[in-house]
Amino acid sequence: MKAYPENINPDLLIAYLNGETSPEDSLWVKEWIEANPENQAHFKAFQDIWHHAAETLPLPADVNTDIAWQKLNKRINSNTPVKRPSLISFTLKVAAVIIPLIIIGYIAYLQFDNPKMLSIQTVNNDTIQQLADGSEIHLNKNSTLFYPEKFKGDARNITLNGEAFLNVTPDPEHPFIITAGDIQVRVVGTSFNIHAYQENETIEVFVKTGKVMLYTTKADNQNTDTVYLTAGYKGVYNKQSQKFDKTETTNENEIYWINKTLVFNKTRLESVFSVLEKNFKIKVIPQNKEINDLKLTASFDKLPIEKIMSIIAESFNIDFIQDGTTFEFKIKDE
């Protein structure tokens, strides 16, 4: 992973905004912007200051400079050669005044206006973090959360890589927006789970209470549909197709990592195995296709995977063999 400085050189940002950077520098700046939410906030602030300065930049009057220069020469009674001014030199002089003001404004933003960005990274354990607005985030293992020390502006923005269950404090005037990979989740006040590990092919959002809105952040995405989810529904975003899928979920197996309880009601074993693979990081191989069609009704509360597999095998009078994290099921020989 590339390492980027905490604050980029303002001169480089000015050149980038003017389109004067080399392809290599342009790529470097883009990667710096996308590296983390704090860099994105810095760039947005600098861009706003730059555009405001550009709007107030004085322009020379629209006159015929050749005629004006000839008149001026006739009025000057001197043998000292006078250097003819140019539009370029005028612009450079103005820029020499404006650019330092832009840089000063940017530095002032960094010091006083920009909320301090914090981050939490979990490895082998989950953790619970309360944000400045009272919202509570339960962060799963191997996850990273970026959030501001204080929320400012019209929205409450955070960034997630991994999995988290969020209980968001209601605030209709300041929507809560979570950026998770290629999508954003926008809510006012609700509780929901996001499964968004960078290495996975999909991003999943399960809503426990309230309502959320999903939409993509990729500029090249042609799918402009917005997906709304209410309690008991799950939205799945496929990173390759850049499309959403919406399904109804009647239980809370999606948040097993929190409550450690699994509930199945006449559920095909194919779906049961999929849930177990996701939550226990295992691989299940049915040796016989008909095994997938068997339907399971059972609940498992805080049981190890080996015990769960034994109960499934006994329920349908089938065998299984465990090899590390791989479980193979087959119909018993008669």
- Please provide the DSSP assignment of 105-160 as one string: HHHHIIIIISPPEEEEE-SSS-EEEE-TTS-EEEE-TT-EEEEESS--SSSEEEEE
Q: Which pTM was predicted?
A: 0.65
Q: Which of 5-9, 97-101, 261-265 has the highest mean pLDDT?
A: 261-265
Question: In the prediction, which pLDDT does 80 show?
Answer: 47
**What pairs with residue 146 in β-bridges?**
119, 159
**Domains of the chain, start order:** 10-113 (no CATH), 117-248 (2.60.120.1440), 260-331 (3.55.50.30)
pLDDT at 222 over 80: no
Question: In the prediction, which pLDDT does 75 show?
Answer: 47
Give 4's pLDDT tier (boundaries 50, 70, 90): very low
Contact 226, 252 (CB under 8 A): no
Cβ neighbours of residue 223 closer than 8 Å, sequence gap 6 or more: 216, 242, 243, 244
Q: Rounded to whole angstroms, how far apart are CA atoms 208 and 210?
A: 7
Q: Rounded to whole angstroms, how far apart are CA atoms 8 and 35?
A: 12
pLDDT at 165 over 90: yes
> What are the backbone dihedrals phi and psi of residue 212, each rounded to the nearest 5 degrees, phi first?
-130, 160
Question: In the prediction, which pLDDT does 44 show?
Answer: 73
Question: Cα separations (Å) of 102 from 7, 19, 50?
Answer: 15, 17, 6
List pLDDT tens digits, range 118-157.
Answer: 999 999 999 999 999 999 999 999 999 999 999 988 899 9
Q: Which two tokens stand for residue 175?
A: 């929507």
List pLDDT tens digits, range 66-81.
Answer: 554 455 445 444 444 4
DSSP category for residue 291? G
H-run or E-run covering 93: helix 87-108
Q: Rounded to whole angstroms, how far apart are CA atoms 135 and 209?
A: 14
Question: Cα separations (Å) of 71 from 64, 66, 80, 84?
Answer: 11, 9, 17, 13
